[in-house]
A and B are shown apart, each in its own frame.
Chain A
Amino acid sequence: MGAGQPRDRERPMTDRTTTDQMTTDPDTRLSHLELNQPDKTFLDSNELIINMGPQHPATHGVLRVILKLDGEKVLGTECVIGYLHRGVEKIAENRTYTMFNPYVDRMDYVAAVSNGLGYCEAVEKLLNIEAPPRAKYIRVILTELNRLASHQLWLGTHALDIGAMTPLFYTFRDREEILKIFEKYCGARLTTHAFRIGGCQYETYEGFERDVTKFLDFVPPKIDEYEELLTTNRIWLERTKGVGVISRADAIALGVTGPVLRASGVKWDLRKAQPYAAYADFDFEIPIGVNGDTYDRYTVRMEEMRQSLRIIRQAVERIPEGPIMAKVAKVMKPPVGEIYHSIEAPKGELGYFIVSDGSTQPYRVRVRPPSFVNLQALEVMVRGALVADVIAVIGTLDIVLGEVDR
């Protein structure tokens, strides 16, 4: 069995189950919200604690947010997570590297292909092997398709939270085409397990290029349709401009990555900064925003969708022939050591820190989920905003609870 989760035995574990009771215990991290308020009414004091419970249509999963309000204004928030914790990292210590591959998809279940890409590349780095060029191109095509699908889902749910119920159906309809391609390729729509350590298992099916090219012609008018519904809509602008602003310095300080970082004006994309897979071969741009508000995050993601299409088109045109799997031993025993490898997932920087002790099972797999780190920015973004903006900001952060909790 593995060595177990390293734990600091000196520090007592805080019992989080008692947070429902009003307590002024300074050890619990909720004391800054001052939950102990006997006998307060609406007019006596302005402060109110509201719980946006785990079950809520707008929290994209089981997220609990405790809000401290002054009337309508938000004074502070506290996110309570862990409702979807499945112990994925602990499970990794008891599985071989190949056996752990399907588990990785289940973390960010919306963009499963990216998760698989990150993990396979991390283990390949550990094993010091490289996937053949054809495999890299296939990986890029599928990952960019998945980026598009993830952004489409984000757009649909974000618009629904703000009240526009129609873009949801349009984006899901168009996402179906991507899921069809996935299904034809590897048999699964959502949790794809598309890649293997060392390359890809499956050769592209007959008509893959034709399907992808047809999709590339089908989608741009649809993206224009989404923009037509939302981008210049006066109500959308009022709901998103100036809402949830995070400054450049704050974003970098909090470790926020992905479209959220780029919308604050930081031109940082791992596909360009530390190219992996075959991204160095392609010509694409990185959209950045100016103000760091919700509207900028929206425009950045819309433009990213278009850039993904550009990458896919270039990849499909130039896909090389060759093997799709490198020479990998059946029983993988990576040398003792550790690596950290991160990729640009649709939601931000997805990192894998793998520690190997020479055996067939990793000693420790630590996942750096982008949603987990981005969620910490929620407090900064909604300070001083109204309650209705909290929902918009949670939507614009594009979090997936499977990733936050693992």
Chain B
Amino acid sequence: MQPIVQPGMQPVATTFFFYFLSGLTLLSGVFVVTRKNPVHSALALILGLLAQAGLYLMLYAPFVAGVQIILYAGGIMVLFLFVIMLVNIERSQKEEQFNKQWLVGFLAAVALGALFVLVYVKGKTLFPYRIAQPIENSNTQQIGVMLYGQYMFAFEIASLLLLVAIIGAVVMAKKRI
């Protein structure tokens, strides 16, 4: 089935971009867990987040993509990097990369992966083949309407949580300049 043609720019090489971006995300995920140097892991994570922003664009959600870049890649990862750089790195680089229980971990990951595949295969009939495509131009408006209308309570709770975190951080760091 063809995706619905949107007003504006036509989608181009959808399949290629999907496989490219997903592959990039997976690759960066692998790098995050296999690199010895934590800074390299953080950089790989940034790459994965940017690829994810591309995937959001492909789902006709440009606002989410933009916010992903600003907040995740440009804000949260910067804070990750701060903490990584302030902690003594040499100690962590001498640690072993994979601990002794790697077999158990591997089996658990395989089991989880099998569960996902089972859910997808069995539930294929439950997911509609084509989700109602959101209109690209009004992504921002729709998110705004939903966030401040239907999900207002969750929004306020989340902001209250963040406020508590900010106050906690300020109190803990206050005795130094």
Instruction: Report whether B177 and A73 are in contact in the complex, using a CB–CB cutoff of 8 Å.
Output: yes
Instruction: Identify the closest chain B residue to A42 (Cβ).
Output: B86
Q: Does B176 contact A (CB under 8 A)?
A: yes
- Please determine whether A72 and B87 come into contact, CB atoms closer than 8 angstroms: no
B88 within 8 A of A: yes
On chain B, the residues within 8 Å of A46 by CB distance are 176
Instruction: Tell yes or no: A43 within 8 A of B by CB.
Output: yes
- Contact indicator A41/B88 (Cβ below 8 Å): yes
Whether B177 contacts A71 by the Cβ 8 Å rule is yes
The total of chain B residues at the interface (CB under 8 A) is: 5
Residues of B within 8 A of A72 (CB): 177
Q: How far is the CB of A123 from chain B (nearest CB, A)?
A: 52
Please report whether the interface of chain B is mostly helix, strand, loop or mixed according to DSSP: loop
Q: Is the CB of B177 within 8 A of A386?
A: yes
In contact, B177 and A43 (Cβ under 8 angstroms): no
Q: List which A8-48 residues lie within 8 A (CB) of chain B.
A: 41-44, 46
> Cβ of A379 < 8 Å from any Cβ of B?
no
Count: A-B pairs, CB below 8 Å: 16
**Which of B87, B88, B176 interacts with A71 by CB under 8 Å?**
B176
Pair B176/A70 contact, Cβ less than 8 Å: yes
Query: Please, which residues of chain B bring their CB within 8 A of the CB of A386?
Result: 177
A window 379-400: CB within 8 A of B: 386
A43 lies within 8 A of B86 (CB): yes
* B86, B87, B176, B177 pick with most chain A CB within 10 angstroms: B177
How far does the alpha carbon of A382 sit from the alpha carbon of B148 in the complex, in Å? Answer: 51
Q: Which residue of A lies closest to B176 (CB)?
A: A71
Return A155 CB to nearest CB of chain B, in Å. 29
Per-residue interface assignment for chain B, residues 144 to 177, with 1 indicating a CB less than 8 Å from any chain A CB and 0 otherwise: 0000000000000000000000000000000011
Nearest A residue to B83, CB-CB: A43
B176 touches A43 (CB 8 A): no
The chain A residue with its CB closest to the CB of B87 is A43
In the complex, how many angstroms separate the beta carbon of B38 from the nearest chain A beta carbon?
14
Measured CA separation A43–B89 after assembly (Å): 12
Taken together as a complex, chains A and B put the C-alpha atoms of A386 and B87 apart, in Å, by 23
Q: Which residues in window 60-97 of A have CB below 8 A to B? A: 70-73
A70 CB contacts on chain B under 8 angstroms: 176
Q: Please measure, in the bound complex, the distance between the C-alpha atom of A71 and the C-alpha atom of B176, giving whole angstroms.
A: 7
Instruction: List chain A residues, Cβ under 8 A from B88.
Output: 41-44
**Chain A residues whose CB sits within 8 angstroms of the CB of B177 once the complex forms:** 71-73, 386
CB <8 Å contact, B176 and A41: no
Whole-angstrom distance between the alpha carbons of A44 and B176 in the complex?
Answer: 13
Give the distance in Å from the alpha carbon of A42 to the alpha carbon of B86 in the complex. 6
Point out the residues of chain A lying under 8 angstroms from B176, CB to CB. 46, 70-71
A-B pairs with beta carbons under 8 Å apart, 8 shown: A41-B88, A42-B88, A43-B86, A43-B88, A46-B176, A71-B176, A71-B177, A386-B177
| Interchain residue pairs A-B with the least CB separation, the first 10 | A41-B88, A72-B177, A71-B176, A42-B86, A71-B177, A73-B177, A43-B86, A43-B87, A46-B176, A386-B177
Beyond known contacts A70-B176, A71-B177, A73-B177: 13 more, CB 8 A cutoff? A41-B87, A41-B88, A42-B86, A42-B87, A42-B88, A43-B86, A43-B87, A43-B88, A44-B88, A46-B176, A71-B176, A72-B177, A386-B177
